[in-house]
Structures are given as C-alpha cells and as structure tokens.
C-alpha cells in the first residue's frame, strides 16, 4: 500500500503544488518518521520556563546530547520547544512563559516538536486559581496543535503532584514526543501518575530481553506493531486466526517469532494460550490486544449477528485473556505491560458504528481497571486510540467519506500503521512504567472528540 494517498502525491508534485496554492487546497506536509530522522531530538531545543523544573528538563536534555538553548534570539530555525509550566499558580502565569514562542512560530523547522510539561488539574484538590491555570494549559496545547504547520506537532505531559520532573516516565514521555516516532500524535497529553519505570540501558533497543504477545498480528496495524516491537528488541509471540495462517507464518519467519493460530473469542482460547506458553517456556512481558473487527451498519438496521462478534473480538476476548494471565504467574512476566487498541470512534462515536464504538469505548474504560489490578505485579495497562489510518480496512470506505475522514485532522492526512505501532512500543517500554490507565490518541489531532 502506498505511504501517501493519490491527492497528497498530486499536491506535492510541481503542477499539483501550484494548483493547490492557487485554490487554497490542503497541502499535507511530509511527516518525518523513525526511518527519516534517527536523532532522538531535532536540534536546537529551546526550553522555556523558570524555576527548578525548567533547569531539570534542560539539564536532562543536555545530558542526552541535545543542543539546548533558553531563548530564541539568534536562532534562524528551531527544531524543538519544551515549555515547563509545572510551577504555575494562576492563569496569568501562563502568558509570561509561553508568549516568547509566539514570535518564533515562523522559525519552527519542518517536523518541529513543541511539548509542554505541567501538573494536571485535580478536580478540586488545589485552589481555584491553580486548577484554572492547570486546565488552561490543555486549551493552549490543543489550540497550538491546530496552528503549527509543516508537519510540526504540539503535545503535553501531565506530571502528577509529587513526581519529580526527572522521573523515568517523564524523561521517557518527553523523548517519545520529541522524536520522529510521534509523527501522527498531535494535540495530546500523556499523564505520568507515578515515579515507576526505568530508562533502558540501550535506547535503540528498549525492549531487549522482553517477550511480547501481539494478537491480530498477521497484517495491517498488527504486523506493523510486531515489526516495531522486534526492531526495539522484543521476542514475539504472534497470534491470529487460522484463516490468516499463511500471512502469520510469513511474518513469524521474517521476525523470528513464534506463531499461534487461535480464535480469541473461543471459550477455550485463554486456556489454550496458557498451555501454548507453558509448553514452550514462554513468559509474556508485553501483551498487545490488537485483534479487532468491524461490522458497520446504521443502528436502525443493526442485528445480533453484527453486534455480538464485534463485542466478542474487540472487548470480551481481552477481558477473558487478561483474567487468565493475571491468574498465571508462571506465564505472566515481571513488570508486565498491557496495551490495548481503542479508537477515536470510542471517544467521539461514528455514524454506523454503534457496535464498534461500544467495544472501543469499553476498552478505554477497561484499561484503568486493569491497571489497578496490575499494580500489584509492577505492571501497567494503557490504550492507543488510532484515528484515520491508511489500512486495507479504510481503503474500502467510499471515496468521498474516506477523503473527508482523511483530511479531518490538524495534519490533513491519514496516519500509517507504523504511527500506531510506535505509540504501542513506547507504552510497552520500561520507560512508560509511570503511565497508568491512559489512552493516547494517534490521530493527527482529529477534529472530533477531545
């Protein structure tokens, strides 16, 4: 499948570019991804903010080899901006820190990254002015995500009160959001709720020595997840249905993984998975619930044969497999990471997808409960919610609705399966140990939902 759609390829050509400019049509920028930009951070990095938090972040970036500056003066081009807002106490504090960026917006490099670091609103634990200031940061980031151009993004990290800004998951989240691996993440927040997590000894292979189960692995997003986890050093157990056996075997051979053909909705599936792992001495450190189906129909025409399979595959199978793994300490590895695939349809809903939206909204609500269960095992549970991703499934959408869905985000293009995979790989990494029960949207800041 081409990495860009026909319209995007046309407006990036010489004649197409001229026509698009004249008519004011969208001109999606190229998004640099891991293969295009291997550097951890796009330099130079300007760190805005006063106080010990800003000094901590600047020192950490310097230790990582970044070219760190504290002001925009004398910079013709800016690669990254980190705005540290952890000490704001009233709404009027925000402007003094963020407004220096206003005059530098036109100097942002293609694919630039802007990341805020702040404390979350608590729903009333802080005084009203502090709560208002913290909540205001969210509006700033989401609006800025709509304004940046040339493939740049704006995102935020919310660090719970009492967590130091040099905690492993703060460093890990900042590294992910500043890197090319977050190309299709825009206008989003990652919440660091604990000081758990560890930074990998080899940042290029953060999953070395870990074994990952990926369901629905044979093709599409599942295959991209498998390849990305393998590139990060993980050993793989690849699961899919018997009908996908050929593709599954081919992928397992490519990645030196272990294939298992299994219908996750079968009542015996959890026990069969455990038996498979025990027979081979496998300990699952990472579980990626990617298996999913759609059976779209307007609700007025919805029937049980369309409803039940979607709930069974997308949601109920996860609950059953999770319960089995939690009860099998000889199979579940240490510090386990569970990552589930949700969807923006589960956040904002979607016409003709009531069944699918139920399943994906259920996943979003499932992960905090699972995270609480995993805490005793040192584990985490989080979700990734893709928006419009260029897959075989979205290629079957009728042309006009497909084109509208593709452009309805701040980056004016569809994402790629690898964009989802990169987010999954980060949440599965040791550095994400302080992120619990969160759902990260990978949607280019889709214009629906939050």
157 has a pLDDT exceeding 70: yes
CB 310 within 8 A of CB 350: no
450 has a pLDDT exceeding 60: no
**What pLDDT digit, counting tens, does each position of 81-127 carry?**
999 999 999 999 999 999 999 999 999 999 999 999 999 999 988 99
72 has a pLDDT exceeding 90: yes
> What domains can be seen in the chain, in order of their start residue?
29-192 (3.40.50.720), 211-442 (3.40.50.720)
Candidate list 189, 307, 338, 356, residue with the active-site label = 356
Give pLDDT, residue 405. Answer: 86
397 has a pLDDT exceeding 70: yes
Q: Which helix (H) or strand (E) holds 287?
A: strand 284-289
Tokens of 439: 């759902």
pTM of the model: 0.95
Least confidently predicted of 5-9, 153-157, 179-183, 421-425: 5-9
**What pLDDT digit, counting tens, does each position of 293-352 carry?**
999 999 999 999 999 999 999 999 999 999 999 999 899 998 999 999 999 999 999 899
Give pLDDT, residue 402. Answer: 85
- Write the DSSP symbol of residue 233: T
Give pLDDT, residue 182. Answer: 98
Q: What are phi and psi of 284, to 5 degrees?
A: -90, 110
Tell me the pLDDT band of 1, cut-offs 50, 70 and 90.
very low
Give pLDDT, residue 448. Answer: 67
Least confidently predicted of 8-22, 132-146, 402-416: 8-22
Give pLDDT, residue 192. Answer: 98
Question: What percent of the chain lies above the pLDDT cut of 90?
Answer: 84
Average pLDDT over residues 195-221: 96
Give pLDDT, residue 441. Answer: 97
**What pLDDT digit, counting tens, does each position of 2-31 carry?**
567 788 888 778 788 788 777 777 788 899
449 has a pLDDT exceeding 60: no
Q: What angle do CA 5, 423, 82 make, to 5 degrees?
A: 100
7 is catalytic: no
- Residue 3 CA to residue 323 CA, distance in Å, equals 38
Question: Which candidate, 47, 113, 123, places its Cα nearest to that of 86?
Answer: 47
Tell me the pLDDT band of 135, cut-offs 50, 70 and 90.
very high
Q: How far is CA 409 from the centre of its chain?
A: 16
Burial 346-378 (b: 16+ CB within 10 A, else e): bbbbbebbbbbbbbbbbbbebbeebbeebeeee
- Residue 336 CA to residue 297 CA, distance in Å, equals 37
Q: Transcribe 392-438 into DSSP letters.
A: HHHHTS-HHHHHHHHHSBTT-S-B-HHHHHHHHHHHTSGGGTT--S-
Q: Kindly report the average pLDDT of the chain as a whole number.
A: 94
Q: Transcribe 21-61 into DSSP letters.
A: HHHT---PPP---TTT--SSS-S-EEEE--SHHHHHHHHHH
User: 374 CB contacts (<8 Å, ≥6 apart)?
Assistant: 326, 336, 338, 380, 381
Give pLDDT, residue 242. Answer: 96
């Amino acid at each position: 499948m081409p990495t860009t759609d026909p319209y995007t390829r046309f407006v990036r050509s010489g004649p197409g570019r001229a026509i698009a400019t004249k008519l004011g049509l969208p001109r999606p920028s190229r998004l640099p991804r891991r293969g295009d930009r291997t550097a951890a951070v796009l330099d130079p990095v300007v760190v805005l903010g006063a106080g010990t938090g800003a000094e901590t972040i600047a020192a950490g970036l310097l230790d990582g080899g970044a070219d760190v500056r504290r002001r925009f003066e004398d910079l013709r081009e800016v690669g990254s901006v980190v705005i540290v807002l952890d000490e704001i106490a009233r709404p009027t504090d925000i402007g003094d820190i963020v407004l220096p960026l206003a005059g530098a917006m036109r100097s942002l490099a293609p694919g630039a990254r802007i990341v805020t670091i702040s404390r979350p609103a608590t729903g009333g634990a802080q005084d009203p002015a502090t709560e208002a200031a913290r909540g205001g940061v969210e509006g700033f980031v989401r609006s800025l995500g709509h304004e940046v151009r040339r493939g740049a993004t704006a995102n935020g990290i919310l660090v719970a009160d009492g967590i130091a800004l040099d905690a492993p998951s703060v460093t890990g989240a900042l590294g992910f959001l500043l890197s090319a691996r977050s190309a299709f993440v825009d206008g989003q927040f990652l919440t660091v709720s604990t000081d758990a997590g560890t930074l990998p000894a080899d940042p290029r292979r953060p999953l070395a020595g870990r074994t990952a189960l990926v369901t629905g692995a044979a093709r599409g997003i599942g295959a991209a997840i498998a390849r990305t986890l393998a590139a990060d050093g993980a050993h793989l157990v690849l699961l899919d249905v018997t009908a996908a056996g050929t593709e599954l075997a081919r992928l397992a051979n490519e990645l030196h993984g272990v294939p298992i053909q299994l219908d996750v909705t079968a009542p015996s599936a959890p026990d069969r998975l455990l038996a498979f792992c025990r027979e081979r001495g496998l300990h699952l450190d990472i579980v990626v619930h990617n298996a999913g189906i759609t059976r779209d129909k307007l609700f007025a025409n919805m029937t049980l044969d369309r409803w039940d399979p979607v709930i069974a595959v997308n949601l109920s199978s996860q609950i059953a497999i999770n319960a089995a793994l939690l009860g099998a300490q000889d199979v579940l590895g240490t510090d386990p990471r569970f990552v589930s695939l949700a969807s923006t349809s589960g956040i904002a809903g979607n016409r003709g997808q009531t069944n699918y939206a139920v399943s994906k909204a259920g996943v979003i609500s499932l992960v905090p409960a699972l995270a609480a269960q995993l805490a005793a095992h040192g584990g985490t549970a989080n979700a990734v919610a893709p928006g419009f991703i260029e897959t075989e499934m979205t290629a079957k959408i009728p042309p006009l609705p497909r084109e509208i869905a593709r452009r309805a985000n701040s980056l004016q293009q569809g994402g790629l399966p690898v964009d989802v995979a990169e987010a999954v790989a980060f949440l599965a990494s040791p550095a994400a140990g302080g992120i619990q029960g969160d759902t990260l949207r990978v949607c280019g800041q889709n214009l629906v939902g939050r």
